[in-house]
Structure formats: structure tokens, C-alpha cells
Amino acid sequence: MNNKDIAEGYMTGLKNDRYLRALLKQPVDVTPVWMMRQAGRYLPEYRELRAQAGDFMALCTNPELACEVTLQPLRRFELDAAILFSDILTIPDAMGLGLYFEQGEGPKFKHVIASDADVKNLPIPDPELSLTYVMDAVRTIRKNLKGEVPLIGFSGSPWTLATYMVEGGSSKAFTKIKKMMFASPQTLHLLLDKLADSVITYLNAQIAAGAQAVMVFDTWGGVLSPRDYKLFSLQYMEKIVNGLTREYDGQKIPVTLFTKNGGMWLESIAATGCDALGLDWTIDIENAKARVGDSVALQGNMDPSILYASPARIEEEVGTILKGFGHGSGHVFNLGHGIHLDVPPENAGVFVDAVHEQSRQYHK
């Protein structure tokens, strides 16, 4: 296989399938790169469209607008993947909890989960009924991508979704859900199990609608102790991995698990059977690779705040991370978390270009 085969999507029919190849540890010509939250508030065209739409949920629930937002960063940057524009809290909303957003305060729910009865009354949403707008967005985006790059579908992890459902919104101390975890663990396990089933159904529906890879965001797994992480987060993500459609329409569907502040648990996450681990910036990628070997691909892991720096400093950081991972495939370059809303878009362009330019030497 030569670089021409790789560049033309030899395996998948995509014009650029570096991202899928890297997740499956297959040869690539350069390290693929995309950014978490690449479609969002740092782009003036996004802010303009959101103002026209009225609010965030109006964007999410309109498939045509969600498609437009998804495609916006691809017009600016040579990104190697598109990610569905949506929110991690669509599942709890579809369960009837009443998601809304308050200016400056983030997501909130009209109804919170506080008891066994609350959990037992929650339905497992049918994605093609109560989350039709997401499935329609996936189909619309796939059509409009025209095979340029793959589309990533995603969900929040059961633990992360549960934190919002029990707390009623964002939290700093997580006192309500930790009270449930320690005082009524059976209630929380019931909730997490139902959420895992819902995430499996949701992601499999995204795959059927056109997502070519999926990612599970465990944003708040890092607030748990090692024992509680395995009990209340990791085991449910492993259930999801085991329940996902891993091949569709003759193509493998890679799955990435990302736990923010989860660097101490990489070996355990890799053992779930996922294809890739997302890394935040608190762990050295060379150390991560030494620990998990070739068992999984790695995604990450530049500190998003580096994008405030000069072009030379951004390029230096890209070089450091590429050198840390070293030669060969199995690395998807990304930020260690979402791009900050006040980053100059041109700095994101420097980052993307630097990854492609500097990584070529590692794939000869």
C-alpha cells in the first residue's frame, strides 16, 4: 500500500480516511487531527448563525442548521474528521427531564432524579422517535460531507449524564450525586444501567444513520476515586463498548473512550475493548503509549490554552507531542479538551497545519 492509496481512502471509499485508519492503527501519510468543540463559539460564523437561530437548542434541534454548524470548521481548516453538532444531554432531555439553558449558567433540568421511583419511571428513548432531530442531523451531515472526511457520532457517558440528572445541572462539588452514590448506591446503579442501555441504543442509531466512528465523553469521571471510577463509570462504559455495532455496511466502526482527568486509569480503560483512548493534557503521551502499548490508539492531547500562544509556540507544542508519540500510526492529534471560545480562529489553523506538516516524518 502506498501513500496514494492512503490519501484516496483505499479502505473506506472516503477521500480522506486518515482518522479511521489511525484509530485502527493502520498506515497513514500524516497524523490526522480534529478538535473537540471544533464547531462552536470561537468561530464568528457560528456566533452569527446562533444569533439567527435564537438559542443553542434551536441549533441542535434543526438538522439543517446542525449540519451547517458541523461543516463550518471544515471550510476553514484541513481537518480530518467532522463531529456531529449536538449536546451530550440529549438523552436525559428525551427521557423527559426538560433540558434548558440559562445565559451564563449552562445546562439545567426542570426535573431531577432523586429516588428509585424517579429512575424506574425513566423511559429508554427510541432515537428515531424522541431524538429524530439528531438522527436527521447525522443523515444530513453525511450527505453534505460527500465523502470528504468521516463523521464522528458521540454521547456522554452514563456517569457524566447522571451527574447532570441528579444535580439538576452543572456542579463543582457533585454533592448530590455523591450522596446518592454512598447513601443509595442501588439507586445510582439502576440509573447508570438504564443510561448505558440508552447510550447503546442511541449510538447504534447514529451508526445506522451514518456515523462512521463514535466517541463516549466521560467528562466527570475524573472526580471519582479509583475504586468508585471502576464501579460507577468504567463498568458502564465497558457495557456500552460491548453493545455497540462495531461493523456497519462492511466497514469497522471505531469507538473512542475519553475520561477527563482519567490518566491514572488508562490500562483499565484500554481493557474495555475500545479502539482508542482520549487523553487530556495532564498526562504525557509518551508515558501513555508506554503503558498501553499497541493495544489501543491514542487521541490527544494538547492543552487547549496553548492556542492563545504565538504561532511559533503552538508549532513547538505540536512537535513535542508528535515526538512523544513517535513513529507509526495509532495517534489522532487533538486538544486535551474542547477549544476555548475566545481562541483566535487563525491560531486553530496554525495548529491543524502544524500537525500535518510536522507529522509526515513519523509516517515514512
Q: What is the mean pLDDT of each run of 10 residues along the chain (364 residues)?
A: 45 88 98 97 96 91 97 98 96 95 82 96 96 98 98 98 95 96 98 98 98 98 98 98 96 98 97 98 97 96 98 98 97 98 98 98 94
Domains annotated for the chain, with CATH where assigned, are 3-363 (3.20.20.210)
User: Is residue 39 a known part of a binding site?
Assistant: yes
User: Is residue 340 a known part of a binding site?
Assistant: no
State how far the Cα of 303 lies from the Cα of 321, in Å rounded to an integer. Answer: 11
User: Is residue 291 a known part of a binding site?
Assistant: no
User: Is residue 21 a known part of a binding site?
Assistant: no
Amino acid symbol at 104: G
Closest alpha carbon to 293 in 311, 309, 312, 270: 270
State how far the Cα of 76 lies from the Cα of 86, in Å rounded to an integer. Answer: 20
37 is catalytic: yes
Q: Which of 10, 50, 133, 193 is catalytic?
A: 50
Q: Are strands 213-218 and 247-248 parallel, antiparallel or unpaired?
A: unpaired
CB 237 within 8 A of CB 270: no
State how far the Cα of 154 lies from the Cα of 257, in Å rounded to an integer. Answer: 10
Measure Cα distances from 281 to 93, 205, 262 in Å: 31, 31, 10
Q: Which of 10, 41, 133, 228 is catalytic?
A: 41
41 is catalytic: yes
State how far the Cα of 202 lies from the Cα of 197, in Å rounded to an integer. Answer: 9
118 is catalytic: no
pLDDT given for residue 1 in this prediction: 40
137: left (phi over 0), alpha (psi -120 to 50) or beta: alpha
Set of cell numbers at residue 146: 460527500
Q: Which of 29, 80, 87, 280 is catalytic?
A: 87
Q: Which of 10, 37, 193, 228 is catalytic?
A: 37
pLDDT given for residue 3 in this prediction: 45
State how far the Cα of 85 lies from the Cα of 67, in Å rounded to an integer. Answer: 7
